[in-house]
């Protein structure tokens, strides 16, 4: 084997080892959703998100292109499609991707959020990241947010929600990064391609969890990311 082939083989082995150590099987949060997909579906598929979806859609034109980033059960993908929006759905859990595909009637891209990067001709007018990016550590969230900025048209909007608070760590088998309004605005100073359009705090819409608070934010893509 010549040196070029040796280097290529070594790089492939290194990449495979890296993916194995950080992949779905090694990610406790993704493993949680694989193990609890049916339970999670039962708890969230009928959650009433209409008011929040309406607030997001007020920033988009009819028929706009939407990326449902962390689509879960496909609840919101289905709702957007029924309103005649062009929707692409993505999630990290293989089980939830199957459930969402069946429920929303569309193919669902299955990948770890950290592996996502838009194709050269892949752009969206809106990205809906409902209770999904909160599972990334802050150090992982930053590059993913930059990537989502690349996937948005200038003037496009990103909806992202977090549990309200200052906690970061594991909770009930999953990683959570919480934000207060002030904490998130400070975090945004590292994301100059986004402008905070609005934020609001809501209670959890699931039965019996109204006391849990959520930070809802809408960001606008304002500049070309360098």
The residue among 150 and 12 whose pLDDT is bigger is 150
Task: Please check whether residue 32 lies inside any domain of the structure.
Answer: no
What is the structure's pLDDT at 113? Answer: 97
Task: Please check whether residue 15 lies inside any domain of the structure.
Answer: no
Whether the Cβ atoms of residue 107 and residue 97 lie closer than 8 Å to each other = no
Give how many domains the chain has, as a whole number. Answer: 1
Query: Where do we find the tokens 């001709």?
Result: 121
Look over the chain and give the mean of its residue pLDDT values, rounded to a whole number. 88
Cα dihedral across residues 129, 134, 135, 138: positive or negative: positive
- Going by pLDDT thresholds of 50, 70 and 90, the confidence category of residue 210 is low
Q: Classify residue 23 by its DSSP letter.
A: S
What is the structure's pLDDT at 204? Answer: 74
Task: Please check whether residue 26 lies inside any domain of the structure.
Answer: no
Domain span including residue 179: 37-221
The residue among 47 and 148 whose pLDDT is bigger is 148
Could you list the beta-strand ranges (E) of 52-149: 65-69, 86-91, 108-110, 124-129
The domain that contains 87 carries what CATH number? 3.40.50.150
For the record, the structure tokens of 158 come out as 């990103």
Q: Does the pLDDT of residue 21 top 90, yes or no?
A: no
Q: Does the pLDDT of residue 8 top 60, yes or no?
A: no
Q: Does the pLDDT of residue 20 top 80, yes or no?
A: no
Counted residue by residue, the chain has a size of: 226
Task: Please check whether residue 201 lies inside any domain of the structure.
Answer: yes
């Amino acid at each position: 084997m010549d040196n070029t082939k040796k280097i290529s083989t070594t790089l492939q082995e290194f990449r495979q080892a890296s993916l194995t150590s950080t992949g779905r099987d090694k990610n406790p949060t993704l493993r949680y959703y694989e193990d609890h997909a049916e339970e999670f579906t039962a708890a969230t598929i009928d959650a009433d998100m209409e008011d929040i979806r309406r607030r997001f859609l007020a920033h988009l034109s009819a028929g706009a292109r939407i990326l449902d980033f962390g689509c879960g059960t496909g609840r919101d993908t289905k709702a957007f499609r029924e309103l005649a929006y062009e929707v692409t759905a993505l999630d990290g859990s293989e089980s939830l991707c199957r459930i969402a595909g069946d429920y929303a009637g569309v193919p669902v891209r299955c990948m770890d959020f950290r592996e996502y990067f838009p194709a050269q001709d892949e752009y969206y007018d809106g990205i809906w990241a409902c209770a999904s990016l909160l599972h990334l550590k802050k150090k992982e969230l930053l590059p993913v947010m930059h990537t989502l900025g690349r996937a948005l048209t200038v003037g496009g909007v990103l909806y992202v929600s977090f549990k309200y608070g200052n906690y970061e760590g594991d909770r009930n088998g999953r990683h959570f990064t919480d934000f207060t309004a002030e904490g998130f605005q400070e975090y945004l100073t590292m994301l100059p391609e986004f402008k905070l359009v609005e934020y609001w705090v809501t209670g959890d819409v699931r039965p019996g969890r109204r006391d849990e608070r959520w930070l809802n934010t809408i960001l606008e893509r304002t500049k070309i990311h360098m």
